[in-house]
């Protein structure tokens, strides 16, 4: 029973991560529509995260922590710049130009980018002639199909939106050019995020303390985001925080996302690899779709449901392919040594357990 619980932990963690991210999409979109600067948002978010993480980091340091070389610090600095500072700033600008549901839907391109980056870095094996490779290809195809459906097909509304809603009244009508610009920026942010996911596994091998690793990234990104604000947002009146949706978004993103979710992601990457975490992103779309209906009064359409179904199907196929690979890695050496009969090989290849 204990083994079963241990095996379920990575799946529970990634579901929790995506649920927390769906909350970030909804709250962040609302804060940006209420006037919060996307660049100031990132700076305060990372500052809140650093405040939360530092006390725990000091406790770990007092107990003893891995040695840090200058080269490793430089790698973590660049890692934070690419995957947090650039990705989050571009993401928030794109979110202002689009919507929470669209942002969450576009995040499902992350598995595609992460998979190909992981293959290029030789972190993932992709053999199209094998059954596991075919399952992965089907999964990736399903994810891409889901993105295309959501982007180009609306369909009939399945649930009617509420006519009067306090948050939805603040949402502007986006022009086609603004929507395209936001979509392009969202894809760019996702590429940076995917690169952050794939390089994180190697950095965690060099510096295995996940808490200190997360804290260092948060501090570096806070400094980097402050410099970005100085250059881009020179109107210091926009740096002020008030008791409104902006403060809630900053606190939630800093404490829950930067402080908790980044740590959970590092744990997940260490246990199951970057593609496993990236392939769970369709779940955030489903959660955001439901939340947007109640919070923004957004109608659920047939295209959104179909796209979400394709993406979740893609998640299943990729995880199925990875499960088949893991089973083969365990059983094959035993077969070659004559320890396990051939019947086991046939069972392992035909009945994988996800």
d(CA 62, CA 333): 44
Q: Tens of pLDDT along the chain (354 residues)?
A: 444 667 788 888 989 998 998 888 888 888 888 888 889 989 998 888 888 889 888 888 888 777 888 999 999 999 999 989 999 999 888 888 877 777 777 777 777 778 778 878 777 767 777 888 888 888 888 878 877 776 676 667 665 555 545 454 455 555 667 777 777 888 889 889 889 888 887 888 888 888 888 899 999 999 999 999 999 888 878 888 878 888 888 889 878 887 788 788 878 877 887 777 777 777 887 788 777 777 665 556 677 678 777 877 877 787 788 777 766 655 555 444 555 445 434 444 444 333
Domain-located, residue 192: yes
Query: How many CB atoms are located within 10 Å of the residue 295 CB?
Result: 18
Pairing of strands 157-159, 300-301: antiparallel
**What's phi and psi for 242, nearest 5 deg?**
-125, 170
Show Cβ contacts of residue 315 under 8 Å, excluding neighbours closer than 6 positions.
Answer: 111, 139, 143, 279, 280, 282, 283
- Using a cut of 0.85, tell me whether the model's pTM lies above it: no
Domain-located, residue 299: yes
Domain-located, residue 351: no
The reported pLDDT for the residue numbered 16 is 92
d(CA 48, CA 258): 8
The CA distances from residue 8 to 135, 208, 229, 324, 331, in Å, are: 22, 22, 41, 17, 22
Domain-located, residue 79: yes
Domain-located, residue 346: no
**What's phi and psi for 159, nearest 5 deg?**
-135, 135
Under a CB-based contact definition with an 8 Å cutoff, are residues 259 and 53 in contact?
yes
Q: Which residues pair with 159 in a beta bridge?
A: 300
Going by the DSSP 8-state scheme, the letter that residue 57 receives in this structure is: H
Query: How many CB atoms are located within 10 Å of the residue 332 CB?
Result: 13
Domain-located, residue 352: no
The CA distances from residue 73 to 16, 100, 200, 297, in Å, are: 30, 34, 14, 45
Domain-located, residue 348: no
d(CA 144, CA 152): 12
Name the residue range of residue 291's domain: 2-323
The reported pLDDT for the residue numbered 77 is 95
Under a CB-based contact definition with an 8 Å cutoff, are residues 300 and 289 in contact?
yes
Alpha-helical runs (H) found in 98-209: 100-106, 110-120, 131-152, 176-206
Domain-located, residue 242: yes
Give me the number of domains the chain comprises.
Answer: 1
């Amino acid at each position: 029973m204990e083994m079963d619980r241990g095996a379920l932990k990575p799946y529970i963690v990634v579901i929790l991560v995506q649920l927390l991210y769906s909350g970030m999409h909804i709250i962040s979109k609302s804060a940006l529509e209420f006037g919060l600067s996307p660049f100031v948002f990132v700076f305060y978010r990372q500052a809140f995260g650093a405040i939360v993480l530092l006390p725990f980091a000091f406790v770990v340091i007092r107990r003893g922590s891995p040695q840090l070389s200058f080269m490793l610090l430089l790698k973590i600095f660049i890692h934070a710049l690419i995957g947090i500072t650039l990705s989050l700033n571009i993401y928030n600008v794109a979110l202002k130009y689009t919507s929470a549901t669209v942002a969450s839907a576009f995040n499902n391109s992350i598995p595609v980018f992460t998979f190909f980056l992981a293959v290029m870095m030789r972190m993932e094996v992709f053999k199209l002639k094998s059954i596991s490779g075919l399952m992965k290809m089907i999964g990736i195809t399903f994810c891409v199909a889901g993105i295309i459906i959501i982007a180009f097909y609306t369909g009939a509304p399945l649930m009617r939106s509420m006519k009067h809603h306090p948050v939805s009244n603040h949402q502007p009508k986006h022009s086609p050019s603004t929507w395209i610009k936001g979509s392009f920026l969202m894809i760019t942010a996702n590429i940076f995020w995917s690169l952050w996911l794939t390089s994180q596994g190697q950095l965690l091998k060099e510096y295995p303390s996940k808490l200190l690793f997360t804290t260092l990234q948060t501090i570096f990104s806070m400094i980097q985001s402050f410099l970005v604000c100085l250059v881009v947002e020179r109107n210091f009146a926009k740096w002020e925080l008030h008791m409104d949706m902006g403060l809630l978004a900053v606190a939630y993103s800093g404490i829950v996302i930067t402080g908790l979710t980044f740590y959970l992601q590092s744990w997940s990457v260490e246990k199951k690899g970057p593609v496993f975490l990236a392939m769970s992103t369709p779940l955030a779309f489903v959660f955001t779709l439901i939340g947007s209906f109640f919070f923004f009064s957004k109608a659920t359409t047939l295209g959104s449901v179909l796209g979400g179904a394709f993406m979740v199907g893609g998640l299943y196929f990729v995880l199925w392919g990875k499960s088949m690979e893991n089973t083969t890695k365990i059983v094959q050496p035993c077969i070659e040594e004559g320890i396990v009969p051939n019947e086991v090989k046939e069972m392992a290849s035909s009945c994988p357990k996800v």
